[in-house]
Chain A
Amino acid sequence: MRVVAAARLRRAQENITATRPYAEKLDTILGHLISQIENPTHPLLERREVKHVCLISVSGDRGLCGSFNSNVLRTTTQRAEHYRENGADVTLICIGRRTHEHFSRRGYDITDAYVNIFRQLEFQTAVDVVHEFEQLYVDRQIDRVEVIYNNFKSAILQTVLVEQLLPLVPEEPEGDELFLDYVYEPGQEALFEMLLSQDLNMQMWKVLLDSNAAEQAARMAAMENATQKANELIDELILQRNRARQTQITTEISEIVSGAAALEG
Chain B
Amino acid sequence: MLNRSFRLEIRTPEKLLYEGEVTSVRAPGVEGNFEILAGHIPFLTALEVGEIRIREGDTPQLLSTSGGVFEVLRTGVTALVETAEWASEIDVARAETALERAQAYLAANEPDLNVPRAEAARARAQNRIKVASNL
Binding site for B on A (CB under 8 A): 15, 18-19, 21-23, 25-26, 29, 123-124, 126-128, 131, 180-186, 190-191, 194-195, 198, 201-202, 205
User: For A131, what are the chain B residues with a Cβ–Cβ distance below 8 Å?
Assistant: 114, 117
Give the number of chain B interface residues (Cβ < 8 Å): 26
Are the CB atoms of B46 and A29 closer together than 8 Å? no
Are the CB atoms of A194 and B69 closer together than 8 Å? yes
Interface of chain B residues 11 through 33 with chain A (CB within 8 A): 11-16, 29-31
Q: Do A184 and B45 contact each other (CB < 8 Å), given the known contacts A26-B80, A29-B69, A195-B69?
A: yes
User: Which of B42, B78, B80, B83 makes the CB contact (< 8 A) with A181?
Assistant: B42
Are the CB atoms of B80 and A186 closer together than 8 Å? no
How far is A128 from B83 in the complex, measured between Cα atoms in Å? 14
Binding site for A on B (CB under 8 A): 9, 11-16, 29-31, 41-46, 68-69, 71-72, 78, 80, 82-83, 114, 117
Show 9 A/B contacts (Cβ-Cβ < 8 Å), sorted by A: A15-B14, A18-B16, A181-B42, A183-B42, A183-B44, A184-B44, A185-B31, A186-B30, A191-B45
Chain B min CB distance to A21 (Å): 5
Are the CB atoms of B13 and A202 closer together than 8 Å? yes
User: For B13, what are the chain A residues with a Cβ–Cβ distance below 8 Å?
Assistant: 19, 22-23, 123, 126, 201-202, 205
User: For B78, what are the chain A residues with a Cβ–Cβ distance below 8 Å?
Assistant: 25
Are the CB atoms of A25 and B11 closer together than 8 Å? yes
Are the CB atoms of B15 and A18 closer together than 8 Å? yes
Chain A min CB distance to B68 (Å): 7
User: For B31, what are the chain A residues with a Cβ–Cβ distance below 8 Å?
Assistant: 185-186
User: For A29, what are the chain B residues with a Cβ–Cβ distance below 8 Å?
Assistant: 44, 69, 71, 80
